[in-house]
Amino acid sequence: SQQGEEDPQALSIQEGENATMNCSYKTSINNLQWYRQNSGRGLVHLILIRSNEREKHSGRLRVTLDTSKKSSSLLITASRAADTASYFCATGGYTDKLIFGTGTRLQVFP
Amino acid sequence: NAGVTQTPKFRVLKTGQSMTLLCAQDMNHEYMYWYRQDPGMGLRLIHYSVGEGTTAKGEVPDGYNVSRLKKQNFLLGLESAAPSQTSVYFCASSYQVLTYEQYFGPGTRLTVT
């Protein structure tokens, strides 16, 4: 069963705009990770945020985590056409597995 | 350093045929995973391994078997393929599980007719 649910399912924006996507999950977690998948390719890890962290930055990426609401958001600032991809959140609990959500498809128009 | 590689990239099988997908990693990772990705379903874990010689079931293990005879290799077998196993299969590996990211291979697109 899916732990993470991303919202929205699809997002279309113009280059230069910011893109925000959200992830909600159901059970307690050790960490939450975001991955990117370009069409026809494998997933690439973007950022990991631990359960005791509230915000993390990496380049143009900003991730927030609210464990009281069991939700996370990924903000991509100043989007580029190359950011066009699907984005997945994945929750790590206290087991050997990550559980992935169904993803947000982001389209950035030049 | 090739990271995670998968063989083959594409395969078409007839119902009832068998095949083995090979995953190899050169990062000395302990953990390896097999996922399947279907439209609108995200990634679902089939089987995984926490070290050489170990395997464990994931969320959707039925119809698949795995082996981890060498630390760097993780094999996924389909003994009698069914159309429901048409999917894209991804292998991943990680150093540890709780606080480390997973590295993914490029995927194998399997069609069962």
Residues 6+ apart with CB under 8 A from A55: A49, A62, A63, A64, A65
d(Cα A74, Cα B109) in Å, to the nearest integer?
A: 29
Confidence (pLDDT) at A92: 86
**Mean pLDDT, range A71-92, rounded to an integer:** 96
With contact defined as beta carbons under 8 Å apart, do B87 and B13 qualify? no
For residue range A5-58, what is the model confidence (pLDDT) as tens digits? 888 999 999 999 999 999 999 988 889 999 999 999 999 999 999 999 999 999
Quick one: pLDDT band at residue B38, thresholds 50, 70, 90? very high
Residue B60: how many other CB atoms lie within 10 Å: 18
Q: What is the DSSP string of A65-79?
A: EETTTTEEEEEE-S-
pLDDT of B18-28, one tens digit each? 999 999 999 99
Which stretches of chain A sit within 8 Å of chain B by CB? Answer: 1-2, 4, 30-31, 33, 35, 40-45, 48, 50, 88, 90, 92, 94-103
- Is the CB of B95 inside 8 Å of chain A's CB atoms? no
